[in-house]
């Protein structure tokens, strides 16, 4: 899997430091990329789509099986696909100032649900992965990086393992998830704040373990660092993937919980019919 460094300097200066509201945000579409310098709050963008990669929001009503019956937030979900070329990639994300990176990495909780479809010939180790972009405005140049939570490194058997297929997987990630075992469990790092790129593999560390290293290696920059992006993606060299995700959440001590629910928008006529029915009911009652 590869990651792309987004242009986030303007983004971080454009958003004042805010707390995350305790709320659920319904996402009905992915905005076309590239991500603008000042993104729309709570919008999700096609932040890195390459080759035959696709990103969409789909309705799951009527598809049957675990995909419909156990979906975390009915009735829709996000869908990411790749084709048969190593350069295909599908990644979407939302960008803002989510808060202090030191606070989120040491006390926060993240979560999401993903579903990997069993595709013959597809990479058995790939699945939608969760990512955090971290950036310190005005830093020394080593002031940006991305933490990547890949399901393959977070299976019960340890190491890099094939990801379960055809069933929703509900993931809750605390600050200490994966602590004490750098061979698996937790997040890998694309490089920055005094730590090198782990190239998609070990060391795989917990969020609080990464925070301790960033603080020790680059204390000034990391003290000013913010989480400026939350993304979900299927990276390059992951052929023939069909993966769904939903219920992406971030909980912080100062801001509560924000959850993103991916849904196909209701037809315009449905809303009109609903209002008309309400008016008729009111007339009957009168």
Quick: pLDDT tens for 218-234. 999 999 999 999 999 99
Pull the structure tokens for residue 163.
């990801």
Residue 4 lies in a domain: no
Task: Give the integer Cα–Cα distance in Å for 78 and 96.
Answer: 20
Residue 153 lies in a domain: yes
Q: What is the pLDDT of residue 160?
A: 97
Task: Give the integer Cα–Cα distance in Å for 154 and 160.
Answer: 8
Q: What is the pLDDT of residue 269?
A: 54
Task: Give the integer Cα–Cα distance in Å for 217 and 213.
Answer: 6
Which position has the token pair 């899997």? 1
C-alpha 251: how far from its chain's center?
14
Q: Give Rg (Cα) of the chain.
A: 20
Pull the structure tokens for residue 241.
């993937």
Task: Give the integer Cα–Cα distance in Å for 234 and 72.
Answer: 20
Alpha-helical runs (H) found in 168-267: 207-217, 219-224
Q: What is the pLDDT of residue 5?
A: 44
Question: Is the CB of residue 151 less than 8 Å from the CB of residue 158?
Answer: no
Residue 81 lies in a domain: yes
Residue 206 lies in a domain: yes
Which position has the token pair 């995350």? 20
Q: What is the pLDDT of residue 255?
A: 86
3-state SS of 1-48?
Answer: CCCCCCCCHHHHHHCCCCCCCCEEEEECCEECCCCCCCCCCCCEEEEE
Q: What is the pLDDT of residue 285?
A: 34
Q: What is the pLDDT of residue 266?
A: 83
Domain that holds residue 267: 9-285
Question: Is the CB of residue 230 less than 8 Å from the CB of residue 148?
Answer: no
In tens, the pLDDT along 20-29 reads: 457 999 999 9
Q: How many CB atoms lie within 10 A of CB 161?
A: 16
- Would you call 280 helix, strand, or coil by DSSP? helix
Residue 1 lies in a domain: no
Q: What is the pLDDT of residue 139?
A: 87
Residue 3 lies in a domain: no
* Total domains in the fold of the chain: 1
Pairing of strands 23-27, 256-262: parallel
Task: Kindly report the CATH number assigned to the domain that includes residue 45.
Answer: 2.60.120.260
Q: State the 10-residue block means of pLDDT for the chain, 286 residues long.
A: 46 45 91 96 97 98 98 98 97 97 98 98 97 94 96 96 98 98 97 97 98 97 97 97 98 94 81 41 34
282 contacts: CB under 8 Å, gap ≥ 6 = none
Q: What is the pLDDT of residue 8?
A: 52
Q: How many CB atoms lie within 10 A of CB 166?
A: 11
């Amino acid at each position: 899997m590869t990651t792309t460094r987004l242009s986030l300097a303007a983004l971080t200066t454009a958003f004042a430091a805010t707390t995350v509201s305790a709320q659920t945000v319904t996402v009905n579409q992915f905005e076309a990329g590239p991500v603008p310098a000042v993104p729309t709050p709570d919008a999700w963008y096609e932040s890195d789509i390459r080759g035959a990669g696709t990103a969409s929001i789909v309705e799951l009503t009527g598809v049957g099986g675990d995909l419909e019956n156990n979906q975390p937030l009915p009735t829709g979900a996000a869908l990411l696909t790749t084709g048969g070329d190593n350069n295909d990639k599908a990644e979407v994300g939302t960008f803002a100032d989510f808060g202090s990176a030191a606070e989120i990495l040491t006390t926060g909780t993240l979560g999401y649900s993903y579903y990997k479809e069993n595709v013959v010939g597809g990479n058995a180790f790939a699945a939608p992965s969760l990512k955090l972009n971290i950036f310190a405005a005005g830093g020394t140049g080593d002031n940006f990086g991305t933490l990547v939570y890949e399901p393959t490194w977070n299976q019960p058997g340890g190491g890099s393992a094939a990801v379960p297929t055809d069933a929703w997987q509900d993931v809750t990630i605390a600050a200490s998830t994966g602590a004490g075992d750098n061979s698996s469990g937790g997040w890998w790092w694309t490089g920055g704040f005094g730590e090198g790129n782990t190239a998609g593999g070990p060391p795989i560390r917990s969020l609080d373990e990464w925070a301790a290293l960033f603080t020790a290696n680059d204390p000034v920059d990391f003290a000013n660092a913010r989480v400026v992006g939350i993304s979900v993606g299927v990276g390059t060299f992951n052929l023939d993937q069909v993966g769904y995700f939903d219920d992406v959440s971030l909980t912080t001590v100062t801001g509560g919980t924000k959850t993103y629910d991916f849904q196909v928008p209701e037809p315009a006529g449905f809303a009109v019919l609903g209002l008309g029915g309400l008016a008729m009911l009111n007339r009957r009652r009168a």
